[in-house]
Amino acid sequence: MSMNEPAVNADILLSVRNMVKRFPIMGGILSKEVASVKAVSDVSFDIRRGETLGLVGESGCGKSTLGRCILRLIQPTSGTIVFRGQDITSIDHAELRKLRRNMQIIFQDPYASLNPRMTVEDILGEPLDIHKLCRNKRERKERILRLLDLCGLRRESIARYPHEFSGGQRQRICIARALAVEPEFIVCDEPVSALDVSIQAQIINLMQDLQKELSLTYLFIAHDLKVVEHISTRVAVMYLGKIVELATAEDLYREPKHPYTRALLSAIPIPDPTYQKERIILRGDVPSPINPPEGCFFHPRCPIAQDNCKIHRPELRNLSSNEGIAHIVSCHYPG
Amino acid sequence: MTAAGIETNNREKILEVQNLRTSFFTEDGEVRAVDDVSFNVYKGRTLGIVGESGCGKSVTSLSIMRLIPMPPGRIVSGEIIYKGQDLLKLNFAQMRSIRGNEISMIFQEPMTSLNPVFTVGNQICEAIALHQKLPRRQVRDKAIEMLQLVKIPSPEKRVDDYPHQLSGGMRQRVMIAMALSCNPQILIADEPSTALDVTIQAQILDLLKELQDKVGMGLILITHDLGVVAEVADEVIVMYAGRVVEHGSVRQIYSNPKMPYTMGLLNSIPTLSRDPTGKIKKKRLETIPGIVPSLLNLPIGCRFQDRCTYVVDECRRVEPELREVPSNKQSDKLDMTGFSHLIRCVRDV
């Protein structure tokens, strides 16, 4: 499979090709563009029907921007997005609105993403009204109640306001809202990172149950590598706006090839005091996406960087010997 | 070093918290945020306090620093003994000479706990000038020295940077530099790495451990991340709804948890399949059903009863006292740290 041609495979729900998003920085008296933040630079991947693609990376690596570009909540600078065989990169607003019935998003902060002045009924009813999915009031109410059941909320919740719920319950409301229009694809942008551990597990289980029941496809964006391994079919690792490694969750966690992925995995604190492991401590911070380094973006922090890495930027290549299961890495010296 | 058995007997106690109760008096009633909490802090050792949001772990640390907003809060009873004196009986001036000098603290948000209109050097100098009688020139040198200690590259330049010019990890380093500038006996770190990325978190935790070895301070690490505690702490307290529910050495808590809440917490974290603990990948995560009870409306009996799978009638009648886990020869062999293992549960263990 070539990464430059949009795939025409029935299994593939979404394909992104060469996506770039630059945010201009204005400056000077004439407010001209003086520089730009390259939040996403030349990213290509596919998401298959029914799978969960995990997207991990540190803050500022462009994972949320990528998620939002896919839904066209942010207009990408260039590249193409093909969803269910239709090129959605430049469709107009009316069409986009129709499209949003099939693609939804769940945000990180359940405190900020619910309107405090709306009751649960209003919150869950709004998407139903926008897409005119109910013929009458009774049907609307029934549908809202069914959504509450589905997401493990009590039926009495319908008349309540967001402040009356705990964080985990609010995230359930956010999930119910995303499911109201019966979408096929949901971008989950750090859906559990604001929650406590015991509540996190409840929400992850709920999301997995819903996926099975409603045959959903997820793009699961998170920085917690443990959660991502648990929920994902395949995992992509981003660094400074680029995908540096993409493989099945099993391969990526068992045999990470990119030195950045290896360092990330070694940095996770393990809840077992008897376990002694080798930790790769990376030097310094993520470089600024305004002036990314020459050559490989990772070379200033890379423990195995060679002279070659400072000059030539590695391309993504498939290192898997197994036909059909790709393990894509961009590194000159993969491990 | 975690669990080094030989050091058992020469632990030096530097802080003793006894039966601490801190409440907030609100319109809806008294919220007992910290309810009868006792522990010791030892020189050169790390005490981890874990629990979910609202369990009282941060209020405990703020009580030690006497930073509880009053009103609505008040330290109702208890003793915090430091160097033979009760911190709760000191007047404000006396407390100020200890706070930031002998006991200091770093907070979760390095973005909000630095003042944006002063250079970082200025802010470090403030603490030094306040507590140590040094000539002006030397105060600045000391600030640079501190920045060097926390491994900030080119500290003589960075000392004149404003907080916004630094990344999150660097700001947390500045906070640590500031907290350590007066050579404190005790450092309280309240979620020091929570707002940071994993690779930066690893750097900061490593730095804290290294500095502790160098300076020999006692560290209280407050976090909700059980992984972080396992790597850094010697002794662990698990808190739930204002109470200590389990207390022991890091090995006792992780290899042999006895309180159902601790067991539930440990089971609800996804494990990495590449680590020895997670060889069998879990299809489904175990969860603790329900949510934390409101501190205004606590049930009679054990506070964890409604979420507990082992609940019996007795749990609903009386709240269990903190009691010692009967010693077990096998686990004692593994654990020679000398910390006793306490739980608040009636279950037969």
pLDDT in tens, B79-107: 999 988 999 998 989 998 898 889 999 88
Per-residue pLDDT at B151? 81
Query: What local confidence, expressed as pLDDT, does residue A109 receive?
Result: 83
Which residue did the predictor score with more confidence, B243 or B166? B243
Candidates B268, B345, B245; CA nearest to B237 is B245
Report which of residues A129 and B280 the model is more confident about: A129
Buried b (16+ CB within 10 A) or exposed e, A77-100: bebbbbbeeeebbebeeeeeeebb
- ipTM above 0.95 for this complex: no
Choose, out of A164, A196, A208, A276, the residue to mutate when testing the contact with B (most B CBs < 10 Å).
Answer: A196
- CA triple A203-A240-A258, angle to 5 deg: 80
User: Is the per-residue pLDDT at A67 higher than 90?
Assistant: yes
Of A226, A263, A279, the CB nearest to B272: A226
Interface test with A, best of B57, B151, B275, B288 (most A CBs within 10 A): B275
Q: Provide the token pair at B15.
A: 């802080």
Q: Express each pLDDT in A266-294 by its tens digit.
A: 888 888 887 777 788 887 778 888 888 88
Q: Which residues contact B108 (CB under 8 A, 6 or more apart)?
A: B190, B191, B192, B194, B195
Q: Which residue of B has its CA nearest to A277?
A: B275
- The predicted pLDDT at position B332 comes to 54
Q: From the candidates A58, A108, A111, A197, which should be mutated to test the interface with B, based on the most B CB atoms within 10 A?
A: A197
Token digits for B171? 């700001």
Residue of B nearest to A283 (CA): B203
Average pLDDT over residues B65-74: 89
What pLDDT is recorded for position B46?
93
Kindly indicate the confidence band of residue B328, based on its pLDDT and cuts at 50, 70 and 90. low
User: What percent of chain B is modeled with pLDDT above 90?
Assistant: 34
Identify which has the larger pLDDT, B43 or B336. B43
pLDDT greater at residue A32 or residue A328 = A328
- Contact flag B228-A205 (C-beta cutoff 8 Å): no
Residues 194-253 of B with CB under 8 A from A: 197-203, 205-206, 224-231, 250-251
Question: What is the rounded average pLDDT of the residues A128-153?
Answer: 92
* Averaged pLDDT, B317-339: 72
pTM of the model: 0.85
Q: Is the pLDDT of residue B4 over 50?
A: no
pLDDT tens digits, A228-252: 999 999 999 999 999 999 999 989 9
Q: Say if residue A295's pLDDT is above 60.
A: yes
> Which residue of chain A has the CA closest to B193?
A269
Coil, strand, or helix at residue B340? Answer: coil
Q: Mind listing the pLDDT tens digit for each residue in B111-140?
A: 788 899 999 999 999 888 888 888 888 899
- For the cut 50, the answer to whether the pLDDT of residue A189 exceeds it is yes
Closest residue in A to B203 (Cα–Cα):
A281
The answer to whether the CB of B196 falls within 8 A of the CB of B172 is yes
> Helices in B186-338 by DSSP H: which ranges?
198-215, 226-232, 250-255, 260-267, 313-317, 329-334
pLDDT band at B346 (very low <50, low <70, confident <90, very high): confident
Residue of B nearest to A252 (CA): B274
Q: Give pLDDT, residue A10.
A: 66
Name the more confident of A281 and A18: A18
Place A139 in a pLDDT band, splitting at 50, 70 and 90: very high
* Partners of residue A227 in chain B, C-beta under 8 Å: 270
| pLDDT given at position B276 | 55
The Cα–Cα gap between A218 and A249 comes to 14
pLDDT digits (tens, 9 = 90+) for A50-61: 999 999 988 888
Q: Which residues of A touch B289 (CB under 8 A)?
A: 202
CB neighbourhood size of A333 (10 A): 15
Mean pLDDT of all residues in A53-81 = 92
pLDDT for A260 beyond 90: yes
CB contact under 8 A, B288 and A253: no
Nearest to B198 among A169, A196, A267 (CB): A267
Task: Name the 3-class secondary structure at A101.
Answer: coil
What is the per-residue pLDDT for B303? 92
Percent of chain B at pLDDT > 70 equals: 91
pLDDT greater than 70 at residue A9 = no
Model confidence band, residue B3 (pLDDT cutoffs 50, 70, 90): very low
